[in-house]
Structure formats: C-alpha cells, structure tokens
Homo-oligomer: A and B are copies of this chain.
Amino acid sequence: MFNVVIVRYGEIGTKSRQTRRWFENILMNNIREALVSEGIEFKKIEARHGRVLVKTNRARESVEVLSRVFGIVSLSPAMEVDAEMEKINRTSLKLFRKMKRELGLERPRFRVTARRITKEFPLKSPEVQAKVGEYILENEESEVNLHEYDVEVGVELMEGRAYIYVEKVRGWGGLPIGTQGKVVALLSGGIDSPVAAFLMMKRGVEVIPVHIYMGEKTLEKVRKIWSQLKKYGYGGKGELIVIKPKEREKIIQKLKELKKEKYTCVFCKYMMVKHADRIAREFGAKGIVMGDSLGQVASQTLENMYIVSQATDLPIYRPLIGLDKEEIVEMAKRIGTFELSTLPEDEIPFIPKHPVIRGSWEEFKKIYRAVFEEEPRKREC
C-alpha cells in the first residue's frame, strides 16, 4: 500500500545552506546504513525541499527502523501518487479507511492538512483540504473536527507529485551521527553510563565504547548493553573495547598498605579515565563521556570529579550531571538498556566500606606517587 517514507528533520533545517547539504548527506547515509543492515529493500533515498524521501514498499518496517536514526524529528509512511485531485481524493479515502479500521471507530473525527511544498499545483492548500474533506465525508461515516480528531490526513504536494499519509511517528530528534566527531564512552554495566552514551550519540557523536574489565559476568552484560545502544548507532561503527587493567592488583595492594582503601573508587575512576584517554588518542576522539550525576553516590562529588578529571586534558562530558536518578532510570527504560543494566554482575571484592566523599588532590598525589613512583598526570602540559 505505502510506497514511500517521508522523513522530517528539525535542527538541520536551521543551518546554513552549505552545512545543511552536508548534514542531509550524512543523514541519508545513516538512513541507507540502517535499512541495509536491517535487510529492508528500498529503491531510492533522496533529499527534497527540507525532507528526505525513502522510496520503498516496506514503508512501515522502515519507519520502525528509522525512528532510531538520530536527526529525524518525525516519519510518515505515505503513498506517492500523481498530483491530480481525483487520485489525491481516492488515495486519501483509502488511507482514511485503513486508519478507521485499525482504530475500530464507527465515526472517526478527522481533519485534512495539506501543504504545497512547491507551488505548481493549481489549487491552494485550503482548497485541497476542503476537497479531500468533502470526498471523505461523502464516502465514509465520519465528521470533521479541526481540534480534536482521531485521524489526520496529510497531503504534501511537490513537483507534480502528492504524498498522502495518516500517521506521524516521532523520531528522537538530535543530529545525525557522524556530524560531530568522536568521543570515548566508558561503559560500566550500570544504569547511568549507557544513558550518557546515548545522549551523546543523539547529538551526532560517534561513540567509541570502552569497558574496564571487572569479570566475565559484567563483561557479558556490557556486551548486551552495547548491542542495544548500537541499534541507535547507524552511522557509527564502534565495537566494544575491553581493557584488562594490569595495574589494578598493585594499586589495591598499595592502598591497603597505606590504609587508604577509601581512595579505591576515586583511584579506580582516575585510572579508567587514563585508559579512556589513551584510547581516545588512538582513535582521534575529542572527549570522554561518563555517566556521573552529581551527588548520586559518594564518588560523584565535585571534589572527587575534580581528581578524576585530572587524568586527561580532554573535556569530560557528563550529560547526566544535572539529572535525578529517577529521570535517568526513566530514560534507560525508554532506550531499552534498563533491564540489561539490572542483570547480575561480578562482585567487586575491593570496594571499601567507607569510600572517600571529598577526596583531596594533594592526598591523591601522595598515594599515586607511592603506587607508581611518579607524579600523577595532571592535565598534561
């Protein structure tokens, strides 16, 4: 029935002409990648007057997949026909009937919204709306209601063709992945870090996922989480990078000797960032993403984040910093990582009973010197 998907994007439209072209191309590439990797056939993908058209007979499946491509604000499976009033009427009625059946309504309230994207069609938009509305009223039990409607019939007219649809599916918005460079995301297996990575991806960043090994169970879990996140990652190709930190035993041993176990978590995070920094350099990534939310747990104080931030001269992005746990959980559920984040993980034997809450950089430095016999890096000069 449907033979095309109308893809609408938001922010890109506001950029300069040149930037817009570039954005559109990346968006079209990501759309192509998404459809190919899900095995959905299509005939053509083209940018047209501020929207992208995907010609395919599998429009509804395409919409499901493309709703996970960032940069897209909304999608409609549509029927493309010649821009002739009779064809427009008949197609509109057909789609209206389909919707009426699906909604199971006796007498649906509806409205018609027409737009001439290019102006060669002889009738103006309100006239098209009136004609289509009349035609539906004549042929189907229904009533027009412009404000409270069960069905909206959309008609977009451009270049001698008409695009008719009755559904508008919301996308995530954001920017197409690949428009904003790369960052390294630290994935721990918890609820927060996948949401943080997701939000950066949503803003067009290609994420390089790094996991610091804790055990097989946790690794298994993180792999599942990354598989889920990859469903939003068309346009980025990152495979999970797993690092087994050789220095861990030494650090834990030394902290015990010094009776500074309370610094374990801060130290651990500092080392994670150091590893992330190295990976970022290898891959040309321009920042590191972490799932910190201020004050959520002991390690997430301004003091401790100060120490951890010294491990790199790259900016650390913390998109969750201002959110409550409840808000983060809600987002995790929406993106499908929550369930996975609550799977069992390896117990960490060396978590101290009373982790330091307001760690001191001076003290941290002393411990670091004791462990490594060198100064800790402090945003290298």
Which chain B positions have C-beta within 8 A of A173? 324, 326-327
Confirm or deny: A130 has a beta carbon within 8 angstroms of a beta carbon on chain B.
no
Is the beta-carbon distance between B306 and A286 smaller than 8 angstroms? yes
Contact pattern, A 1-37, Cβ under 8 Å of B = 1, otherwise 0 = 0000000001100000000000000000000000000
Is the beta-carbon distance between A301 and B174 smaller than 8 angstroms? no
Is the beta-carbon distance between B303 and A202 smaller than 8 angstroms? no
Main secondary structure of the interface of A (DSSP, over half): loop
Contact pattern, A 348-381, Cβ under 8 Å of B = 1, otherwise 0 = 0000000000000000000000000000001111
Known pairs A173-B326, A204-B295; A305 contacts B315 (CB<8 A): yes
What is the chain B residue whose CB lies nearest that of A287? Answer: B302
Contact pattern, A 180-203, Cβ under 8 Å of B = 1, otherwise 0 = 111100000000000010111011
Tally of A interface residues using CB under 8 Å: 49
Confirm or deny: A167 has a beta carbon within 8 angstroms of a beta carbon on chain B.
no
Confirm or deny: A314 has a beta carbon within 8 angstroms of a beta carbon on chain B.
yes
Give residues of chain A (300-333) contacting chain B, Cβ–Cβ below 8 Å: 301-303, 305-306, 309-310, 313-319, 321-327
Which chain B positions have C-beta within 8 A of A74? none
* Bound Cα distance from A316 to B11, whole angstroms: 25
Known pairs A200-B322, A203-B321, A203-B322; A294 contacts B378 (CB<8 A): no
Chain B nearest Cβ from A21, distance in angstroms: 15
Is the beta-carbon distance between B318 and A203 smaller than 8 angstroms? no
What is the chain B residue whose CB lies nearest that of A307? Answer: B315
Is the beta-carbon distance between B175 and A295 smaller than 8 angstroms? yes
Known pairs A319-B319, A324-B10; A310 contacts B313 (CB<8 A): yes
Chain B nearest Cβ from A378, distance in angstroms: 6
* Bound Cα distance from A175 to B296, whole angstroms: 9
* Bound Cα distance from A202 to B326, whole angstroms: 14
Contact pattern, A 290-302, Cβ under 8 Å of B = 1, otherwise 0 = 0001111000011
A319-B321, A379-B381 given. 11 additional CB < 8 A pairs? A11-B325, A173-B324, A174-B324, A198-B322, A200-B322, A286-B302, A287-B302, A309-B315, A313-B379, A380-B381, A381-B381
Interface pairs (22), CB distance under 8 Å:
A10-B324, A10-B326, A180-B302, A181-B301, A198-B322, A200-B294, A200-B322, A203-B295, A203-B321, A204-B294, A286-B302, A286-B303, A287-B302, A287-B305, A305-B315, A309-B313, A317-B318, A318-B318, A319-B319, A379-B380, A379-B381, A380-B381
